[in-house]
A and B are shown apart, each in its own frame.
Chain A
Amino acid sequence: MIEAHDLTKDYGSKRAVDGLSFTVRPGIVTGFLGPNGSGKSTTMRLLLGLDAPTRGDATVNGRHYRDHASPLHEVGALLEARSVHTGRSAYNHLLALAQTHGIPKSRVSELIDLVGLHEVARKRSGQFSLGMGQRLGIAQALLGDPKTVMLDEPGNGLDPEGIHWVRNLLKGLADEGRTVFVSSHLMSEMALTADHLIVIGRGKLIADTSVDDFVAHASQKVVVVRSPQLERLREALAGPGVSFEAAERGALEVHGLTAEQVGDTAAAAGIALHELSPQQASLEEAFMDLTRDDLEFAAEVEAVA
């Protein structure tokens, strides 16, 4: 369980996190979604007590992170920025962390095997590829068998197989009743992994919703239609909040209406439809819609500055 209340962080005059309140529940995977630079990594550092909030409060498993007697058993974290000494081997890096809690060496080897780093575990980690560094970070997060797992962009640098592996891992961890909090800037990845979504933009909370609701909401609003009378259909559908885009092979993509609305309108106007399909693939777009205002605002601010 992670609870943030009015969490706010300023760096100089820049507000990175702005009055964020949310709860991350155990037993499900919660996606933490936002464009790059929206404050996800800062929020995670605040949760871990690495940075002190300007205002507000955050607890993990009921306590401030700093007040836990066995932090690695409570929370396992993968931080986005590299957090390994480049001159130290993966094995020694994990061993040094394990030793702070009296975790045995056998656990270190177990985790190295789990993430598939056995071959390179004794090499200096500075020579690791991005993907290997990411696997080491995941091993670090899981070292203490933690009740809460917090991963910042775990998919970064992983190949499709690795991403698939992480997805299954996260689901497994949630199944066991752990709290799983994963950040990403990719909506499509979160739709496959997460059960619940917390979306932020420019440090502010934009949405706190289940993935099912988000998907339903998003897919309702984009429909691909094919018709021999496409121009007439377009005229019949036109209205406030409705826009069109040409789709492939002469189809039309209708934004802002549900499949039911498009079908009913076509029937009323006596227009034949050859295809009417709500689009599941527009999640990324829905996410963009959700965060666009913030990005536009950001662009304006930068243009002025």
Chain B
Amino acid sequence: MATVSIQHGTVEGAWTQPARGTIAMVSLIIAESAIFTIFVVAYLYYIGHDVLGPTPRQVLEVPWFYSICLISSSGSIVLAEHAIEHGRMAAFRLWWAVTILLGITFLFGTGVEWHKLIVHDHLTISTNLFGTTYYSLVGLHASHVVVGLIMMLFVMAFSLAGAVRQEHAYRVKTLALYWHFVDAVWLVVFTVVYVVGR
């Protein structure tokens, strides 16, 4: 075999580079942040532009309970990450399940809110600018919650089947990064929709 070597000199020390999953997830988060920024700007821009109601002040109630659920799920997933890193698989499954339940509770809250708005207040996406911007911004966030929940349910199923072990901590942490992002975005959406916009 004709070969040629290209190495010249030796490289001292260990050769370490960032984990590709982390870089990719951070990149995805940057891209998603740009998408959310556009929807948030549209929401802020159209506050008070409506001629016809209902307006946010008339129909929106601050979802304190469900928001606290979602934000605290960031805490429980940190505990889950910590557990799998140290190989405590029972604790991992417990905190992972808690995170999923908190996420589902939040999603349920969104469902309750939308049901009230649509059935009781007759606000749909085509009613006025508030409806258009509200449902698309909150819906965009909710769809991210759904995606996160689906991925976490997969991990839960694999974990119950015994396929998730300590050496997968890095993958779990990559997924957790996404979930932290979903929670952080909710802080922005909450501020924009329920504090500034109301």
Are the chains A and B members of one assembly?
A: no
Task: Using CB atoms and an 8 Å cutoff, list the residues of chain A in contact with chain B.
Answer: none
